[in-house]
Structure 1
């Protein structure tokens, strides 16, 4: 009672009790005066009460003054109240300091102080401090009124879902209040618990199970769904497995319908190929045991067959008790199972998985499933060994000559308003436009999975809702089409009925399809000499047939006879063979068989893929060697052609150089004819120098350049021949590689455009010449200086001209012009020299693209080798990546077989 007064600041009522007419201030004032008159007054109680009155009247400073002087046991409460006053005065730091200064063992007081601090921290936006305080309050005094609700509101407002969930779980376990369990479930449904470890909820679930099993189921299902698609999903399944093993079986299975359904959905999900068997081997035995234990009647068929299928694949992994319980449950289970739908879904799941693994699936699987789903057509598979007249029989029945001589391919014949013929291979469906083309195609060797589908207007098939499947006499592809057949007609020659070879074939058929209806037709009865003999053979053969096929019907037939009796008998057989049968049930079993065959086909594909990778690696490694050899060969060819083409060019260029070096000095010497005794020797050297330059230029322009042009054209023609020869080798190389690749993968083309560049350069270099004048006679050699000086000094004197003439002539004819000639030649042939230096690069241009193609192909092949090796290593080191999903698909299939046969 007193604590409540202290909490609400109503302690003053202890002084004002039973005094209604006077104001509390007056009453407390009188009490204060009275207390002072005592020998040892104790004013703390009165001051405390006065502070409350001042506080309620918002005189916070007076209240603080009163509470500051409390020295008795109310002192901690007085300090708390002072802090409240500072809080009201918005002196928040002071209020916080005073709250923290209070030291007391009173839980209620400490709780109230903590609640006030919480409010203060929220106002001051000190969320971390507020969180610490609220945790302290809940830990210290969780039963204090509204404390846990305040904490819940605080966490939710600030979206602190970890603490909100923790609080709700803690309170649910502590209080056993369904209210808190409902709050936890709400958080779970909103997704606020996904990041928490599943073990965190074990105690919560165990507590709830003891309180309310229905609520336990709802909570478990909510947690189950929340962990779905999360990283901790398998951890959750292991957690709930252990928990379910520890709890007692529910008293009423029907009350756990939700849990039964989620067990079923989870089981089928675990079977979809995304998990490895090693992940499931430790999980599923407990999972299945629990499922069998808790399942309700609506799910008991799935639970029991799942357990039996698992135990069949992994013997002794389930306890004998669970296995026996599953067997008993399966016998009494009542459930409408749509096997065809479930089988189709499983087939599509496996197909999707194969697509993800980039596995090419034979078209016959999808086409067979399509045929199974067509309940308007009955499929009769016609089989038999060679020389039985099987094709002639089919042609006589349908009234069309569709089938020719026996082929190695299966043909499916159906009625359709317009003609449509297709060749169906592993990869594609090829349209065939005419019957003649169909005959041509069936005469060719067929691929392993190839078959033909012929659709024509065929009234007989239409009238009897019939499709015929003609199989090769060898029986190789017969077994692949057994799942498509609703019945099998075995055609035998009446002259050798059901011989040893046919008996072996029939044994294999019965083993592969034990429930398939098999009937027999003894053909070529026209070859028997009388009716009595035919009847005797029929009776004897029927007796032998019925020993293995007791329900089979046996007929006599001749494709040459068109008797109404024979046709009537055959028609009656067709009508009876497909009457009064549960076709959906039969096709469900066949579909499941096809799925099993499909799974085994994919397992074989795995081995085939590995072989293909090994072969591809070996083949590509050999190709790398060949490509590398071709690159070296092409490098050598390039070097050879560079050498030949450069040598050819260098030869005619140096011949021109040699000729020029010989000819130019002679031109200079022959220039002596320009001198006579009448020449003006004072300027003769200038005129001679000009004339010598002119004669050299004229010689190069009129003689040398045309000759060089012809030489260049001959050289280009020679180079073209060398390039053409190189291209022939490139073509040979391309053809060789493309033959190995079996496609036009490599085309090595040299760049003949370099010849066009050379032709333009030839035109440019030989079209004209620009030579600088050379100082032939204007050099400052002693002899030249002497002649020039003499000419200037004596040139005007007649008596000296003869001497000068003879001296100049002798000088010109005997002078060494090699240095000058070499300078002129080097200057003239400079562009030819530069051109020669570029020939290495130009010839390389011709080979550049072919070499680039070869090197790129080699690099790509090496990359492919490395990628294939990595895939192969992964396949070998982790076979479970491929094999485990197929094993789980087969496990799921086995469960369906249990269901169908239950």
Structure 2
């Protein structure tokens, strides 16, 4: 045992026990102490050190401390450490800590032992941060020190200090290159303890492991990959790991099954359309390059196709060597298994994305794609010119199940246990009872598709879905129904009339079919052979037709049909014909190609919809801005009409009122003067002024009631009638204005109806003003305090009782009444009477405005609505222009997947074309 080991274990005393193992150490050391003490020059230090150890082991810590405190030689640091150990045993932790921290030594062993003791002490005191520092310092001093790293690992794990645990595992993995430590690190990764650590922290460890063990490297890399998935540092991990793989190469002797799958899953996740291309463009090329280099056989096809597809969509974004590698790998790979199902999954994801973005492809489109999944029925499209006898052929094959009438669109006959007829359009899929229920005219004719399912024994026997199309015409040959479903059909049978087979018009149409669907097999049916009585002529006609057809369609086959032939035999021959045209064909591969066509079509549709939507927003903004201008113009016109009606109607009323004022002003003085006839010589002149004043008021009241008001009433009624005509003219103009706007809007949006209740209010108010008691205060005509009136009143009271004076008073009174200036009083009476009519006049502005309030409200509301639409559309348009990639990038990713599937389903042609 080494000296350091003895000092650590406090077994230094054993050096005194040589050859005296059977004697108690206390006695041996006691004898040694006495012997040394009797020497002339003694040194008891080492004996005391050894005695301290014995006392310590026997738990006499105070004695041990006493012995060790007097050590002053090279053992002094160890003695201090032992003293601290004794205080630690006595649970005098603070004293022990101070002594430990005061030890000065050059020995790494002693330093580590002190740190380990401090580590234990801090744990007891609950000072975990200091405990961490102590054990980390110990590891730093000498990680090979016995058990120090294991002690640290256990401590970190027990206290869930995963940061330090991971750091320890990484450092020890790199230092020791021990697979055991890599396993520890991997366990931490799988527990999710590394997900928040920057990925480059693990690069060196991965590089070390790559050189040691590729299988373990793949396992740790996969664990780290999965721990980062869908988390904040995911992209950082992909960037770091791909760089590591790129710079260190990919060992081909190892099969990278787990990493190949992760590369595949990650690539699919990256291109799922939820991320912008600008966020991926720096990441995916190196990802693909590494993937195709390390791909396992299971993922070789998809990896190489992904590289080649990416290079097509982003030509300058991927290196040439990666493309070459992909071409090499794909040329050695088979085609895609379950391609139809996988392509349909892509199509379905496009449909869901379109629905989320409020862009609908149409029910018919989706229905057709779903039908492609049915591999049990061969879609045979039957077409022919009008008069070719196509319907007779369909009737012959289907029997009573065929409609026997010209259909409004394409009809697909398919076997089914129950009768089920469905109309399929872009707008809806709805069940119908017969073809007469098809909504002809509500959709474009070529968009109508009828799915007719019922028991068809012949179709079931031959695995056939027969599609009948309306007869073709040369005038619109490129817009006929047949061209809408070329990529839905598995084969096309073109019916020719034996009277004039394969005319130039027919040939023109078939050539156009081949241009639009080059992969679609085209075959012919020669009909009406029974019209040729001479067998030799029939044979010659058949040979000529075959020769003409072969010139343009060398692979096409011709079936001769005649209603005169035996029906069963003819159907049997047709079955053989159907088998021949399907011989050697792989239906799933062909349907996969058709599915890819519809995927391509859907992506193009959605891209066009983006442009259409943007243009639609611009058009809508321009249209609404134009409508705002027109609406504001209409409002200004209405304001002018309102102002004109106010002026006209008020002027008419004012003229009537002024006429009444003039009448009153002119008539009242005459009435008052004529009242002089009431003055008699025998009148009581003392009271005559009162009586005369009353009579004057009575006569004025009577005049107003019997003459003025009736005349005014008639004038007002005429005024109301004229006003009503003015309002009717305005309303007619408003109706015309509303009809004009509604024609622009395309529906009855504006109702510009005025409030004619105003006229009822006027009639009621006019009746109230011109009927009933007159609201007129009694006027002081002769009771005023003018000098003349005062004189007459006084004279009447003084001289009225003297008979000889009455004549004089009579004459004076009469002269006064007849010659008095009544203009002032007439004006006052007139003003008082007219006041109530002036109140009516003042309300006319408000009433006429009320008449026009609803049209104004409707126009203003429409203006505000248009402004709202303009603002909303501008926001949408700005957003589209600022972030066009939000819409376009997912479609680009769909296109990328499309090209990927194209590579996987037609490898030979694609590689040849690419090269």
Q: Determine if the TM-score, normalized by the shorter chain, exceeds 0.5.
A: yes
Q: Secondary structure at the match of 1:719?
A: helix
Q: Which residue of 2 aligns with 1:861?
A: 866
Q: Which residue of 2 aligns with 1:506?
A: 510
Give the Cα–Cα distance (whole angstroms) in 2 for the partners of residues 434 and 669 of structure 1. Answer: 100
Go from structure 1 to structure 2 and tell me whether the alpha carbon gap of 1:725 and 1:393 turns closer, same or farther (over 3 Å shift): farther
**2:524 aligns with one of 498, 504, 520:** 520
The answer on 1:900 being equivalent to 2:905 is yes
Q: Which residue of 1 aligns with 2:854?
A: 849
Q: Which residue of 1 aligns with 2:735?
A: 731
Go from structure 1 to structure 2 and tell me whether the alpha carbon gap of 1:458 and 1:299 turns closer, same or farther (over 3 Å shift): closer
> Residue 554 of structure 1: CA displacement?
1.0
Q: Which residue of 2 aligns with 1:742?
A: 746
Instruction: Map residues 240-279 of structure 1 onto 2, 5 A cutoff.
Output: 240-250=241-251, 252-254=253-255, 256-279=256-279
Maintained 8 Å contact 1:80/1:102: no
CA deviation vs aligned residue, 1:201-223 (integer Å, no higher than 9, x gap): 32232233234333322332233
Q: Which residue of 2 aligns with 1:343?
A: 343
Q: Which residue of 2 aligns with 1:446?
A: 444
- Bigger mean CA deviation after superposition, 159-168 or 719-728: 159-168
Q: Which residue of 1 aligns with 2:382?
A: 382
> Residue 498 of structure 1: CA displacement?
2.3
Go from structure 1 to structure 2 and tell me whether the alpha carbon gap of 1:218 and 1:705 turns closer, same or farther (over 3 Å shift): farther
Go from structure 1 to structure 2 and tell me whether the alpha carbon gap of 1:334 and 1:570 turns closer, same or farther (over 3 Å shift): closer
Q: Which residue of 2 aligns with 1:228?
A: 229
Give the Cα–Cα distance (whole angstroms) in 2 for the partners of residues 656 and 65 of structure 1. Answer: 138
Give the Cα–Cα distance (whole angstroms) in 2 for the partners of residues 484 and 815 of structure 1. Answer: 112
Give the Cα–Cα distance (whole angstroms) in 1 for the partners of residues 886 and 459 of structure 2. Answer: 47
Give the Cα–Cα distance (whole angstroms) in 1 for the partners of residues 596 and 486 of structure 2. Answer: 12
Maintained 8 Å contact 1:15/1:27: no
> Residue 9 of structure 1: CA displacement?
9.8
Q: Which residue of 2 aligns with 1:296?
A: 296
- Bigger mean CA deviation after superposition, 206-215 or 791-800: 791-800
Go from structure 1 to structure 2 and tell me whether the alpha carbon gap of 1:503 and 1:618 turns closer, same or farther (over 3 Å shift): farther
> Residue 892 of structure 1: CA displacement?
1.9
Go from structure 1 to structure 2 and tell me whether the alpha carbon gap of 1:40 and 1:562 turns closer, same or farther (over 3 Å shift): closer
Give the Cα–Cα distance (whole angstroms) in 2 for the partners of residues 794 and 56 of structure 1. Answer: 157
The answer on 1:466 being equivalent to 2:471 is no
Q: Secondary structure at the match of 1:489?
A: strand
**2:539 aligns with one of 529, 535, 538:** 535
Q: TM (normalized to structure 1)? A: 0.82
Q: Which residue of 2 aligns with 1:308?
A: 308
Maintained 8 Å contact 2:45/2:72: no
Maintained 8 Å contact 1:360/1:426: no
Q: Secondary structure at the match of 2:486?
A: helix
Structure 1: gaps (5+ residues): none
Structure 2: gaps (5+ residues): 908-915
The answer on 1:631 being equivalent to 2:632 is no
- Bigger mean CA deviation after superposition, 343-352 or 708-717: 708-717
Give the Cα–Cα distance (whole angstroms) in 2 for the partners of residues 6 and 803 of structure 1. Answer: 165
- Bigger mean CA deviation after superposition, 412-421 or 474-483: 412-421
Q: Secondary structure at the match of 1:634?
A: helix
Maintained 8 Å contact 2:422/2:430: yes
Maintained 8 Å contact 1:55/1:85: no
Give the Cα–Cα distance (whole angstroms) in 2 for the partners of residues 790 and 88 of structure 1. Answer: 144
Maintained 8 Å contact 2:742/2:748: yes
Instruction: Map residues 658-677 of structure 1 onto 2, 5 A cutoff.
Output: 658-673=662-677, 675-677=679-681
Q: Secondary structure at the match of 1:483?
A: coil
Maintained 8 Å contact 1:297/1:334: no
Give the Cα–Cα distance (whole angstroms) in 1 for the partners of residues 160 and 670 of structure 2. Answer: 109
CA deviation vs aligned residue, 1:706-742 (integer Å, no higher than 9, x gap): 6555555444443333333222222222222222232
Q: Which residue of 2 aligns with 1:591?
A: 595
Give the Cα–Cα distance (whole angstroms) in 2 for the partners of residues 84 and 496 of structure 1. Answer: 121
> Residue 863 of structure 1: CA displacement?
4.4
Go from structure 1 to structure 2 and tell me whether the alpha carbon gap of 1:77 and 1:795 turns closer, same or farther (over 3 Å shift): farther
Give the Cα–Cα distance (whole angstroms) in 2 for the partners of residues 77 and 835 of structure 1. Answer: 121
**1:488 aligns with one of 485, 492, 516:** 492
Give the Cα–Cα distance (whole angstroms) in 2 for the partners of residues 852 and 104 of structure 1. Answer: 97
- Bigger mean CA deviation after superposition, 622-631 or 350-359: 622-631
Q: How many residues align?
A: 891
> Residue 538 of structure 1: CA displacement?
0.9
Go from structure 1 to structure 2 and tell me whether the alpha carbon gap of 1:823 and 1:482 turns closer, same or farther (over 3 Å shift): same
Q: Secondary structure at the match of 1:522?
A: strand
Q: Secondary structure at the match of 2:658?
A: helix
> Residue 293 of structure 1: CA displacement?
1.9
Q: Secondary structure at the match of 2:487?
A: helix
Go from structure 1 to structure 2 and tell me whether the alpha carbon gap of 1:637 and 1:526 turns closer, same or farther (over 3 Å shift): farther
> Residue 381 of structure 1: CA displacement?
0.3
Give the Cα–Cα distance (whole angstroms) in 2 for the partners of residues 16 and 796 of structure 1. Answer: 176
Maintained 8 Å contact 1:76/1:103: no
The answer on 1:654 being equivalent to 2:658 is yes
Instruction: Map residues 606-645 of structure 1 onto 2, 5 A cutoff.
Output: 606-645=610-649
Maintained 8 Å contact 1:253/1:296: no
Maintained 8 Å contact 1:380/1:469: yes
- Bigger mean CA deviation after superposition, 566-575 or 637-646: 566-575
Q: Secondary structure at the match of 1:520?
A: strand
**2:605 aligns with one of 601, 604, 615:** 601
Give the Cα–Cα distance (whole angstroms) in 2 for the partners of residues 123 and 606 of structure 1. Answer: 70
CA deviation vs aligned residue, 1:510-560 (integer Å, no higher than 9, x gap): 344444332211223344353321221111221333355444331233468
Give the Cα–Cα distance (whole angstroms) in 1 for the partners of residues 51 and 795 of structure 2. Answer: 146
Q: Which residue of 1 aligns with 2:556?
A: 552
- Bigger mean CA deviation after superposition, 876-885 or 96-105: 96-105
Maintained 8 Å contact 1:380/1:485: yes
> Residue 369 of structure 1: CA displacement?
1.6
Maintained 8 Å contact 2:413/2:465: yes
Maintained 8 Å contact 1:421/1:452: yes
Q: Secondary structure at the match of 2:467?
A: strand
Go from structure 1 to structure 2 and tell me whether the alpha carbon gap of 1:137 and 1:813 turns closer, same or farther (over 3 Å shift): farther
Go from structure 1 to structure 2 and tell me whether the alpha carbon gap of 1:98 and 1:734 turns closer, same or farther (over 3 Å shift): farther
Maintained 8 Å contact 1:631/1:854: yes
- Bigger mean CA deviation after superposition, 373-382 or 571-580: 571-580
Give the Cα–Cα distance (whole angstroms) in 2 for the partners of residues 273 and 798 of structure 1. Answer: 126
> Residue 243 of structure 1: CA displacement?
1.1
Maintained 8 Å contact 2:157/2:165: yes
Q: Secondary structure at the match of 1:484?
A: coil
The answer on 1:204 being equivalent to 2:205 is yes
Maintained 8 Å contact 2:383/2:493: yes
- Bigger mean CA deviation after superposition, 713-722 or 111-120: 111-120
Give the Cα–Cα distance (whole angstroms) in 1 for the partners of residues 64 and 720 of structure 2. Answer: 118
Give the Cα–Cα distance (whole angstroms) in 1 for the partners of residues 627 and 818 of structure 2. Answer: 72
Give the Cα–Cα distance (whole angstroms) in 2 for the partners of residues 12 and 775 of structure 1. Answer: 148
Maintained 8 Å contact 2:49/2:71: no
For the aligned residue pairs, the C-alpha RMSD in angstroms reads: 5.0
Maintained 8 Å contact 1:273/1:886: yes
Give the Cα–Cα distance (whole angstroms) in 2 for the partners of residues 97 and 828 of structure 1. Answer: 117
Maintained 8 Å contact 2:524/2:556: yes
- Bigger mean CA deviation after superposition, 376-385 or 347-356: 376-385
Q: TM (normalized to structure 2)? A: 0.81
Maintained 8 Å contact 1:423/1:432: yes
Maintained 8 Å contact 1:524/1:557: yes
Q: Secondary structure at the match of 1:469?
A: strand
